Amino acid sequence: MKTCDVSITGRSLEKYAGPLLVFLVAERKKNTPRCDEPVRKGVDHLHRLGDVKGKADEMTMLYPNQSNLPVKTKARRILLAGFGEYDKTAGLEGMAERFRTAGGTISQQAARVKSREVLVVFPSWVKEHRRYLAGCLVEGMLLGNYRFDKYKKADEGDEKFEGIDTIEIHVDSRAFRHEVAKVSRRCRSVATARNMANEPGNRWTPDDFAQFAVDLAKRSDLHCSVLDKDQIEKLGMGGIIAVNQGSSTQPKLVVLEHNPPSFSKTMVLVGKGVTFDSGGVSLKPAAGMQDMKYDMCGGAAVLSTMQVVAEEKPGLRVVAIVPATDNMAGGAAVKPGDIITHFNGVTSEVINTDAEGRLILADALAYGIDRYQPDWVVDLATLTGAVIVGLGNHRAGLMSNHDGLAELISRVGDICGEKVWRLPLDKEYVDQIDSEVADIKNVGGKSGGSITAAAYLLKFVGQTPWAHLDIAGTAWDYTKKSYIPKGPSGFGVRLLLSLIDSWKQLKLGGKNKS
């Protein structure tokens, strides 16, 4: 994807002669909509006609040069972007989401008229949190401007539209620059995660994860190490080896570290990097199997997060670990009934080879904790279909052994618009994965599938405060949001970055559930 430049401007709107000038219009129950002065008369007129109400998603494109609407401008088009109600009772979170949504819709409209440049007037009627909310608007625009069409030719006779490349935000103060720069950085990382996920299984392999990390380390202060199959085997990571056994592609354990000059806290991030999940010998049904190229979205999220970590250099150590392999059914593949030994010596009976995510995460978690002695561990994984049954596509499942960490993740998730919902993790669920023949088994029966998957991971984190995010329902194709195009969402990047932002609020100790 091309990069998109975002800048702040205070230039005269009357002189603007570009392709697309955008004003936000907010609904008011018994009144004419809120809008900015330059379009006031026009909006009043259209409101009287009943055409403009300011509802969210209501998009009105005006062509000022060809109309006698009372709007003074040289712009080729004016978009009146409906905002919905500017209602403080929605709270800052609700308001932030409305601005992101408006931003996403503006990008969709720009694409419809193939406008590569957009000037958006940030509304003067927004009185509080102006800088933050302008950031949310930009966030929505940038995230909604994402496209992945590198393998697709343009329709004949049609010029290929490659997205907006210049966004200008019209505001009264230069102070917005930092916020906009921060948001742009973060949206670039979300795009990076989406790009990785969009590559199919034959074009995004464990080696590509490794290459990405090596390249990122080269152009930053991050330290990268990649363990190959021999090293993974020597370290006793029986889970990764087992999942990889049926494949002709070598596994990798990719590690990226941000080491500040001095630090007192360490956060380890682990992401499931299954570059294609066929299910292995416990083969998945054919219908929809192509979507299992997305089974690496957790890995994509944690490595892409490191791109921003490298730029922003937070004051704690952050380590991202991605166990990467595909899950195939070759002749040497692991079989139901096989018993494997994990990094920490725990033995496991493989009941179903399609429950492979927990096998590779178990090794990566135990390794990360042993090697880095972290204060907090967070893993992200497209781990279970069951989480989609339970929570649908609007919240990720959160399971944790630490209330403080779980609460903070829930809070930052609500704020950044990547929402989670905590599920329990009591001992009874953990008992479901007891095996007759080994320490544990990799499935715990039909009921509580997301929780028993988390219970498996719990065996590998010891007392370290840990949170597991099951992103199977949110990692792709939750298309209800204007700023999340169809395909991979990049879920987790913004959440992890918000969590890192607030790491100082993270208290150790506290009451542990489970």
Is 357 one of the binding residues for ligand BES (CB under 6 A)? yes
> Which distant-in-sequence residues (6+ apart) come within 8 Å of 447 by Cβ?
432
Query: From Mn ion, ligand BES, Zn ion, none, which one binds at residue 385 (CB under 5 to 8 Å depending on kind)?
Result: ligand BES
Is 71:62 a contact under the CB 8 Å cutoff? yes
Is 386 one of the binding residues for ligand BES (CB under 6 A)? yes
Is 438:347 a contact under the CB 8 Å cutoff? yes
Query: From ligand BES, Zn ion, Mn ion, none, which one binds at residue 81 (CB under 5 to 8 Å depending on kind)?
Result: none
CA dihedral 441, 443, 447, 448 (to 10 degrees): 90
Is 278 one of the binding residues for ligand BES (CB under 6 A)? no
Nearest CA-CA partner of 362 in 279, 195, 261, 238: 238
Is 326 one of the binding residues for ligand BES (CB under 6 A)? no
Piece of 175-183, 351-359, 367-375, 492-500 that binds ligand BES (CB under 6 A)? 351-359
Is 295 one of the binding residues for Zn ion (CB under 5 A)? yes
Is 184:259 a contact under the CB 8 Å cutoff? no
Residue of 55, 76, 177, 284 marked catalytic:
284
Q: Which 283-302 positions form the footprint of ligand BES (CB under 6 A)?
A: 295
53 is known as an active-site residue = no
358 is known as an active-site residue = yes
SS3 6: strand
Q: With respect to ligand BES, which residue has the nearer C-beta, 465 or 488?
A: 488
Q: With respect to ligand BES, which residue has the nearer C-beta, 215 or 434?
A: 434
Piece of 225-233, 348-356, 370-378, 494-502 that binds ligand BES (CB under 6 A)? 348-356
Residue of 358, 395, 459, 494 marked catalytic:
358
Q: What span, in angstroms and rounded, lies between the C-alpha atoms of 76 and 72?
A: 12
DSSP of 326-392, one letter per residue? Answer: EE---TT---TT-EEE-TTS-EEE-S-TT--HHHHHHHHHHHHHHHH--SEEEEEE---THHHHHHT
Q: What span, in angstroms and rounded, lies between the C-alpha atoms of 151 and 487?
A: 15
Is 102 one of the binding residues for ligand BES (CB under 6 A)? no
Q: With respect to ligand BES, which residue has the nearer C-beta, 16 or 429?
A: 429
- Please calculate the CA angle 153-154-157 and round it to the nearest 5 degrees: 135
Nearest approach, Cβ of residue 383 and Zn ion (Å) = 7
SS3 110: helix
Taking CB under 6 A as the criterion, the residue among 164, 303, 443, 457 binding ligand BES is 443
**Binding string, 353-392, against Zn ion, x = CB under 5 A?**
----x-----------------------------------
Nearest approach, Cβ of residue 426 and Mn ion (Å) = 25
Q: With respect to ligand BES, which residue has the nearer C-beta, 26 or 360?
A: 360
Piece of 112-120, 153-161, 277-285, 449-457 that binds Zn ion (CB under 5 A)? 277-285
Nearest approach, Cβ of residue 235 and Mn ion (Å) = 23
Alpha helices by DSSP H, listed for 219-356, are 229-234, 238-244, 297-312
Q: What span, in angstroms and rounded, lies between the C-alpha atoms of 162 and 150?
A: 10
Residue count, binding to Zn ion (CB under 5 A):
4
Residue count, binding to ligand BES (CB under 6 A):
15
Nearest approach, Cβ of residue 274 and Zn ion (Å) = 5
Q: What span, in angstroms and rounded, lies between the C-alpha atoms of 374 and 501?
A: 17
Polymer length in residues for the chain = 514
- The encoded tokens of residue 468 equal 């597991």
Q: With respect to ligand BES, which residue has the nearer C-beta, 401 or 452?
A: 452
Q: With respect to Mn ion, which residue has the nearer C-beta, 58 or 277?
A: 277
Nearest CA-CA partner of 301 in 408, 202, 212: 212
Piece of 6-14, 147-155, 354-362, 485-493 that binds ligand BES (CB under 6 A)? 354-362
Q: Which 448-507 positions form the footprint of ligand BES (CB under 6 A)?
A: 449, 472
Burial class, 207, CB count within 10 angstroms (exposed 0-12 / middle 13-18 / buried 19+): middle
Q: What is the binding site for Zn ion (CB under 5 A)?
A: 274, 277, 295, 357
List of residues contacting ligand BES (CB under 6 A): 277, 295, 352, 354-357, 382-386, 443, 449, 472
Q: Which residues does the annotation mark as catalytic? A: 284, 358
